[in-house]
Amino acid sequence: MRLKTLIVDDEPVARKVLREDLESIGGVEVVGEADNGAAALDQIAGRRPDLVLLDLQMPGMGGFEVIRKIRHGAHMPVIVIVTAYDKYALEAFEAGAIDYLLKPVGQDRLAAAIEKARRITSHEAVERLARLQEVADPLLPGQRLKKIVGKAGPEYFLLDAHEIFAFHAEGDIVWITTARKRYQATQTLKVLEERLRSATFQRIHRNALVNVDHVRKMSALSSQRWLITLSNDQEFIASKRQARGIRRLVNW
């Protein structure tokens, strides 16, 4: 995912240097430039950048006033201050900036700030999707869950519960298996189990949660172990006690 970036500085040369340096970093898309605070606010509202490289000393409206105004707006990007003055660092961090770069900005220092902004925006995106997931389809008693968020590469997908075959934890990562693809879950297996309590999902292993509607076969491996085969040929080993829960749900 490219980091959409807005450059705000009243000096054309400073904007040009930043743009050229950003081009050499990669993964950054400069979506606009502004030479004053008012223009910066217009571009933030219209272009919705992920990151704003913001000068502090500008005629009319300075950088701190820009930050104060966007706090009350519909979109709050990540702010990195780029300035020639070192005396405002504490005030900048208190205002919400994530980094403070002194001109002339070194390439390594700029790259480090960009990476920090990238981590923050990625984390915020996951949090927003998790919050959306919690409120988009609130369950009433007896209703089934409708949507689960899955991540594939840089993209996020809203999945119907019925199309999910299983959730399988590998260390800290929980994978979502469907008929055609595998996605990374945005929540832990424990949280998913709680959310899916009203749906046809059964915990059959400490690392696995399966959709009973997709169970095709159950084979006894021993008096205490069963092999659970899903309709996509995915297999899980369950204890006799856990397999009993599946049998109860499908009336075997």
207, 172 contact by CB (below 8 A): no
Q: Say if residue 194's pLDDT is above 50.
A: yes
Q: What is the mean pLDDT of the chain?
A: 83
Q: Which of 45, 40, 124, 42 is nearest to 82 (CA)?
A: 40
**Digit-coded pLDDT (tens) for 79-93:** 999 999 888 898 898
- How many residues in the chain? 252
10, 58 contact by CB (below 8 A): yes
Rounded mean pLDDT, 200-210? 85
**Digit-coded pLDDT (tens) for 57-73:** 998 899 999 999 987 66
Query: What single-letter DSSP state applies at residue 139?
Result: P
Domains of the chain from N-terminus onward: 3-131 (3.40.50.2300), 147-250 (2.40.50.1020)
Token readout for 210 is 């399966």
CA dihedral 119→123→124→126, nearest 10 degrees, is 140
Return the H-helix or E-strand segment holding 191: helix 189-195
Q: Which of 42, 89, 43 is nearest to 64 (CA)?
A: 89
Q: Which residue did the predictor score with more confidence, 133 or 244? A: 244
**Digit-coded pLDDT (tens) for 93-131:** 888 898 999 999 999 999 999 999 988 887 655 454 444
